[in-house]
Structure 1
C-alpha cells in the first residue's frame, strides 16, 4: 500500500462556498487584522492571541467549570461559548479560539476516551494491533456530518454559532488535533514521553498505520469543517507530538494524513475583493523546528512556531515564503515585566523577516499565569508604533 493517505478525489469534501451568513462572506471578519495577517498582509502591529487563552489561568473559567468534567464542558454549547469569550473580554485579544479539546471528535466517533485531571486524555482500550485498527476504522467518519446540527457534531456547531453571534468583528479560530497526535493517543492509550508504541506500529505494520492515519484525518477534518461551516473564520491544526518524529518519518508516514485533514477545510471559500479566497489554515507543532517545510507543504497557509527556534531562523528555513505565528516562550510570562517586554519585542523584531506575523505563545498559557500579565502584553503589542 502506498504511503500516500492524503486527498482522494472520490472521498474528500468538494469545494464549496461558505454560506451567505458566514462572518467572512458578510465581510464582518474578512478585514480583521488576524485574517489579513494570515493571508500574508503585514499589519502595523502584529495581531495577538494566545494558545490556551481560554482556560485555567482565568478565575472566571475556574468558577464556571467547577464540578463539570472537561469533555462535558466542551460538549455544552452554552458553557463552551462562554469560556471562548472570556479571554476576549478580559484581554482584548485579536481572535478567539473555540474552547474544546482535540479528543472531542474521537469521543463523538464512539471512542471511549476521558480527560483525567493531571494526566490528560486516557483511552479505555488502546489501538495497538491490526485487529484493533480494523475495529476502530469500521466506524465511518462520515457519520460526523459537519453540517448536521442534529448529528454527533451538533453541540460543536451550536457552540460555534453562539460564540460567533457575540464576537462581532473578532474572528473565531476553529481547531483540531493533527492525525499523528490523535493516533499517538489512540495507540499509547494516553500521554507518552516518546510515543514509542505509535512509532513502532508505523514501521511494523504500515498498512494498519495508514488506515489509522486516514481515519484520524477524516475524523479531525470533519471536526474542523464543522467549526468553519458554523462560523469560524480560520482553522488551526495542532500536532502536539510530531516533534518525536524524524523528518523522514514525518514526510513519509504523517504529512500525507495532515494534508488529508486540511483538505476538509481547504475547499471552503468566500468571495472577497479580487476573487474567491480560502479560509486561512494554520499548522502548529511542538518541537517541530526540523519539520517546518514539510508542515508547510501539507497545505497550510500559516506556520505556527514553538519557542525552541527563533522566528527569523524559522522564516529562513521556510524561504521567507509564509506568514508565521508565535513564539513567545510561555516561561517568560512569569518573569519580571522588563524581561518579558524585552523578549516580546525581540520576537516581534524577528517576526519581521516573515511576510506577516501573528504574535502568540510558543505553546499554551501555563495554568498559573497571572491574567494581568496577558492583558498587559496585549496592550503593549497594540500600542507599538
Structure 2
C-alpha cells in the first residue's frame, strides 16, 4: 500500500484491490452538460491553456461521479503546438496542422519553447493537486481519494498528426514516410521521445501523481515498426521518468496493438497497460507478469446503450480480473452522446460488490 492510500495509486503499484478503482478516458468531455456550457465560452486551445477553465473541466466528472482518477484536461497535440507547429481545431474536421515532412520542416520547430508554452498546463496541475489533496470533498468524491493523472501522446501517435496534418483512419502518408525517409522519421520520433519525457516529468513536478502515455495509432504498424516506433520510445520515456521521479507510476496505452500488446507490456517497463475494446483482457493477462496492472476495457458503446447489458459486461470484466491489479476503464473514450446517467450507473455497478 502506498503512503497516500489512494485506491488508484495502490492498484498502479501492483496491489489487487477489490472492487477495482475506476476512471474513464474522456470522462471530462462533451457528454456532460456542464462541459458543453463551458465550451461555448472559448475555443479548445484556450480551454486547455486557461488554468481556471482546465481545472474546472478536469473536476466536473469527479464532482458528479466520484471517479478514483482525475485526468488533466488537455490534448496530445499541445506538445507540437508548444514546439511551434501551427494547430487549429476546426468543428467537423478536428485538428489541422501545417505538415512536418522533412528535416527542414522539423528544424523550424523548437523543443526549447515547450517549457514556457506549457506553463499554464503546469499551473492547472498545481491547482488540481491542491484540490484533490485538500480536506474538502470534491462533489461526491471523498477527500484524499482521487489520484491526479497527467498524460501525453506517445511519439508515434503525435508524429501521425504532425506529418499528416490532420486526423486519418490510416495515416498512410505518415507510415509511407517512415519507410521512404527513415532518417527523417527516426529524427522526428527521437525529438518527440525526448520532449515527451521532459514534459511528463514537468507534469510530475507540477503535481501529477501518475502519468499516461497514449499511443492511439500504435496498431497501424507491423511488428518490426511497432518495436521501433512504439516499444523503443516508450522504453526510453519510462527510463527517463524512473530516473528522475522513481516511484511515479506510468500507464501505457498501445491501442489496437493486438498480440503486440503482450510484448509492449513485457518490455517497455510501464507499471500498467491499458487495453482497447478488442483485447481479451483475461487471455492477455495470462501472458504477462502478475505484477503488471491492467486497465480497461469496456466498449464505450456499451455505456452509450446502458442498461443491464452494460452492467453485465462491466461486471464480467471486473470479475475476470479479480485477484490481480486492475483499474477499470473503457477501451477508448466516452462517446459524446452518452447519457450522463449511464456513466453514473456504470460507476455504481463497478463498486457494487
Could you say whether these structures have the same fold, taking a TM-score greater than 0.5 normalized by the shorter chain as the test? yes
Q: Is the 8 A contact 1:235 1:282 kept in 2?
A: yes
Deviation of 1:261 after TM superposition, in Å, equals 2.9
Match in the other structure for 2:254:
285
What RMSD over aligned residues (CA atoms) do the two structures have, in Å? 1.7
For residues 13-92 of structure 1, the aligned pairs below 5 Å read 27=3, 30-92=4-66
Deviation of 1:292 after TM superposition, in Å, equals 1.1
Q: 2:90 aligns with which of 116, 139, 163?
A: 116
Match in the other structure for 2:106:
133
Match in the other structure for 1:311:
281
Per-residue deviation, residues 88-114 of structure 1 (Å, max 9, x unmatched): 000011110000000112111111112
In structure 1, stretches of 5+ residues that fail to align are 1-23, 146-150, 270-276
Aligned to 2:18, the other structure's residue is in SS state coil
Q: Does 1:373 align with 2:342?
A: yes
Report how many aligned residue pairs link the two structures. 340
Match in the other structure for 1:331:
301
Per-residue deviation, residues 310-350 of structure 1 (Å, max 9, x unmatched): 21012123254511000011010122411111100111122
Deviation of 1:293 after TM superposition, in Å, equals 2.8
Match in the other structure for 2:152:
176
Q: Structure 2 length normalisation: TM-score? A: 0.92
Deviation of 1:51 after TM superposition, in Å, equals 0.3
Distance 2:61 2:280 in 1: 27
Distance 1:310 1:233 in 2: 28
Distance 1:120 1:368 in 2: 17
Q: Structure 1 length normalisation: TM-score? A: 0.84
Match in the other structure for 2:138:
none
Aligned to 1:278, the other structure's residue is in SS state coil
Per-residue deviation, residues 58-92 of structure 1 (Å, max 9, x unmatched): 10111112131111100001100010011000001
Q: Is the 8 A contact 1:106 1:219 kept in 2?
A: no
Distance 2:66 2:306 in 1: 22
Deviation of 1:135 after TM superposition, in Å, equals 3.4
In structure 2, stretches of 5+ residues that fail to align are 134-143
